[in-house]
Each structure stands twice: as C-alpha cells, then as structure tokens.
Amino acid sequence: MNQAYKIHLMRKPALNDQFTATVRDLGTDGRGIVGHPSGQVFFVAGVWPGESGKFRITGFKQRFGFAQLIELLQPSPSRMAPPCSHHGLAERDCGGCAWQFIDYPAQLQAKEKRVRSALSRFAIDEKIGTIHASPHTLGYRNRAQFKTDGRQLGFVAAGSNRIAPIAGCPVLTPINQATLHALLGTLPEPGWHPQRKGTWTTLDVDEGITAEQIVPNQRRPFRQGNDAQNTFMREWLTTRLDTLDKARAVTELFAGSGNFTQVISAAGFQRIHAIEGVAASVAQLTGQKLHGVEGHCRNLFLEADCTRLQGDTAEASILVLDPPRDGFKYIAALLPKKHRYRDVFYASCDVATFTRDLQVLVDSGLEVQELQPLDLFPHTPHVELLCWLRADT
C-alpha cells in the first residue's frame, strides 16, 4: 500500500469514500459491523461476521456511520442463495427477511450469541438454554401486513419507505400465500389508493380472514406469528406452572385475547387477573368464559394505572407478562419494596427492553431460574425470550 493511499484512508471518512474491511460482528438490528481504517465504525446490511469486502460510505449518524457492500472479497462458509427472489438490498427489493442469505444454523448461533452477550452482566449464562429452533423456516408466518398504493402491493424496501412489490412470499403459510395471490389479482384497485401523499394503505391478513373480508387500514387481533413456536411457548409455561400451588392468585399483564390466559386457566388456578389495554381484546377474552379469569382493561403504558394495579391485584404472588417490543417501562410501579410476587414468567420479543426490565426484577429480589431463547421469525434478527424468575428468599 503506497503512502498516499494510507493517508487517504486515515483521514476523516467522507460520504462515498470506499474502503476494504472484514466484518467483525453483528449489530442489534442484524447488520454487520465493520471498522474503517480511521477507527470509525460502520453498519452494513447483507454481510456476516468474518466476511471481507469493499464498502462505500453512504451516511453518518453521531459517532458511527453506514456503508454499502460493493464487492464481496471473502464470503462466509454459511452464505447461501436466498430462497426468495425478492430478497436483496436494492431499492425494489423486500427488506422483510434480512438474513435469507445465511444458512439456518448460523442464524441460530448468532441469535443465541446475542442473547448471552446482552445478559452477560447478570452472570446467568449457565441458566440460559440453547435456542429453540423453528420447526419450519419457510411457510411458517401466520399473519402479515401488506402495503399498497392501489397499483402495487408488497412489503417495504430495505432501508427505505418505498413499497417493494412482490409476486409471492415463501415465509407465509399456504393459507396466507393464497390470500396474497387473491389480493394481487384485484390490482389495480383505486379504493386502496393512500389518503395522504407519501403514505400507503395497509392490508392486514391472517389465517382467519379471506381476501374479500379484509378492511384496509384495519389491524387484526394480535397473535404470535409462528404457530409451532407459540405452541412451544405455551407448553413451556404449562410445565412450569404445573409445579406451583394452584391456590395462589395470578396477575397476567398484556393478556391480549388470551393466548397465555388459556394456559393459566387450564393449569387450574382459581384467581387470575388478566390485564390488557385494548378494550376489544378484553371483550374477546371475557367472552371465552375461562375458569377463574377476571378481565380488566388498564393502560399499562401509564405509570398511574400500573401503580393502581398494586391494590387491584394485592393477593397475587405469580406474575405472567408478555409485553410488546417496548417492554414494560413501568414494571417498577408494580414492584414496591415489599411486593408479594414470588414467581415471575416474562415472555419478551426484544432483548434490549428485556435486559432493562430484568434489572428491575433482579433489584426487587427476584432471581433468574431459567431463560429460554427461541426463534420465532427465521431469516430475521428477531429473537424471543422466555424467563422464569423466583424470589431469592
């Protein structure tokens, strides 16, 4: 390397500069982490640890930047041909399954490594189980949200707010693939034209609705997106609840329409407070008439409502919660200095917010008994966590 080129690389990186580097790790969003010769860190989509390539700088944000792979010099042994023709990083490619270029064992290894790394400060590595693989890596997704402007229909293009048109989607279940094809057959559809400039119309589908029944811009009731893995989650909870005294009262937070409430009721508990913030979900849950269940509508994103729950559920000593990606920001409001919870079962869909909430649980006198990662969405960086904590006294 001549001296002039060395000086060029060591100066402050600029937009469109090119450099050569080796991917050293993955970020929390699944993008590769590469180091510029100047020392600045860049995030790059579509690469894997150990791969070497030539990169072009595309942007900056505070102390790090973004770059694009322009030439792969040394591919990973785990690299493979994506099973979907719409996968890619171009402006018309779908950004939904970012890891389709890597074989499944390597995906699982990366997810488990991320979990163990994120939780290393808790010194619970021996309590973290091997990640539970999805039985199916294609044809598993039981729900989806399509975007359309009335002329084209698809998902969102990688790194943009543009629609990436699709002709099919191999991760959808056969029923949802049939619904997709029926929707594509109606195009163009003027009624799906977005109401505001620069936006799109959403079409939510799952296995309980046909193409003709879909209402634009109307969300479907929440359900876990992978039936086989949801069965595993329910069985995991059942097995652990079976070891507890059924005379104890249970508080369930973010109960939804009863995915875990059904498990708790079937286990034989007599007093179950099922708390959910969406009134329609509470009504659906109440309509199931599950034994021992009282449904309550509370806004779990308001600290005052969470504080009031202390009194509403004062007799409960078991806590089950399955919050959204934001986690349970006000979990401390439910755990005063002398709280009564002796067993907590936390299902999390975000490692970062779970790590934050776990610190609160541990500080309140609870200790991790076991933590089970599982892969709910193959070909994505997403990882689900199931954690059982008990009082340490």
Residues forming the active site: 349
Which bin fits 120, alpha (ψ -120 to 50), beta or left (φ > 0)?
alpha
Residue owning tokens 């003709």? 212
Judge whether 358 and 6 are in contact, CB under 8 Å: no
Query: Which amino acid is located at 82 in the chain?
Result: P
CB atoms within 10 A of CB 291: 12
H/E element holding 111?
A: helix 104-118
Residue 168 has, within 13 A of its CA and on its CB side, a CA count of 10
AA letter at 175: I
3-state secondary structure of 41: strand
Given the structure tokens 């329609």, which residue do they identify?
280
Taking a C-beta distance cutoff of 8 angstroms, is the pair 307, 287 a contact?
Answer: no
CA 219 to chain centre: 18
